Amino acid sequence: MSMGRWVEGHPNALTVTVGPKAGADIKGKDNVALQAAVDYIAGVGGGTVRVQAGKYTMHDSLHLRSRVSIVGSGEDTVLLKPPSVQSALSNDIAFGHSDVSLAEPDKFRPGMGVYVYDDASGGFIRTVATLLYRDGDRFGITKPLMYDYGRSRNAVVVSVYPIISGYDVEEASVASLRLEGNSAKNAAIDGCRGGAIFVLGCKNLSFSDLVINDYNGDGVSWQQNYDLLFQRITVTGCRCGLHPGSGSTRWLVKDCRSENNSNEGLFYCVRTTEGIVEDSEFVGNAGNGLNCGNRDTDHLIRRCHIHGNGGAGIIFRELDVAAAGHRVQVRDNVIEDNCRTQGVAEVDLAAELEGIVIEGNTIRPTKGKAGIRIAAGVRSVEVGKNKILGGKKLAVVDERG
């Protein structure tokens, strides 16, 4: 090979170095150089991309590929989101089309990532893609549009996107990087289509030793995935810190920290199952520490420190028995001093829940708030061996009579 280094005896043994310094196999300091290294390794069957220390300007996502490991040099390897630009449409665009027409095309160039939406669209019917070519005011895009976006509904194209993204990727990993979102100079992106890290339809991915800061969207959002690991990740100054959702199952959040985000520390979205959150910290978030709800079932939360959040430490949002988050175990956590600005209890069982276990926790309620609140509609819950400090009257408030 003329580039990289083979290691004998390993099925995915090629290593390529990328960065601005001497010795890099691929030289550069933007997403183009990083993507070239990742795509090269993917093209030979897999291996490792080692990213030198430096600041890399991300004009589009770093797109993950199957069987490629990306390893940075710790917090000295920074992936930076540049300021976003925005344009209205010059013509209406429709579902399934692979181009967009822009009123201000000179703000954009091929290779940029974009986010397309209007007032009537939301969630998964917004579009994230990359601009391919320019023909006058028209740009080709890498993915068909998810909706009919209209000028009468204030449709826009904005250069916001995940800093790292993966679609239908298997057996890949990312480690030892810092992601800077530059939120003051970037428009917001919805967690169903974006996050500083966003993965959809993936299997067996690992993310470790990452710092995610100041992104105008969720820190990490994973949708419709299987068997994901998030370990030693710190998310600060984003909107929602961690966002498991939309059918994701068998995932592990371990030794992570979600701090000072403007919404929830961790938000279980829709029908995510069999997740484990352990040995992690949720502190100072404006919303709840952890928020579990719509058919989010069969989870375990253990040995976490959940404190100083604006809302409840853990809340099971108010839903009927068909939609509630059943069979969740909350074990051996320290939950204290939450409900700073909203909420009624450190642990709030507000839904028509079944099979909830709250055991072995140390709970220190904020003055005037309950330790555990059990709403009238709760079907079955086991509460035992918890140490709840403060007045006995508010230790466990059981509204079932």
Q: DSSP per residue over 211-258, as a string?
A: EEES-SS-SEEEES-EEEEEEEEEEESSSSSEEEETT-EEEEEES-EE
Map residue 153 onto helix, strand or coil: helix
39 sits in which H/E element: helix 31-43
**pLDDT less than 70: residues of the chain:** 1-12
Q: Give the pLDDT score at 302.
A: 98
Amino acid at 161: Y
Rounded to 5°, angle at Cα 398 from 389 and 312: 60
CA distance 267 to 287: 10
pLDDT at 393: 77
CA nearest neighbour of 205 among 162, 242, 174: 174
Residue 12: what pLDDT? 54
Per the CB < 8 A criterion, the answer to whether 357 and 330 are in contact is: yes
Phi, psi of 317 (to 5 degrees): -65, 150
Q: What pLDDT score does 391 carry?
A: 73
Q: Which region, left, alpha or beta, applies to residue 355 given φ > 0 means left and ψ of -120 to 50 means alpha?
A: left
The pTM assigned to this predicted structure is: 0.95
Closest CA to 61 of 194, 211, 256: 194
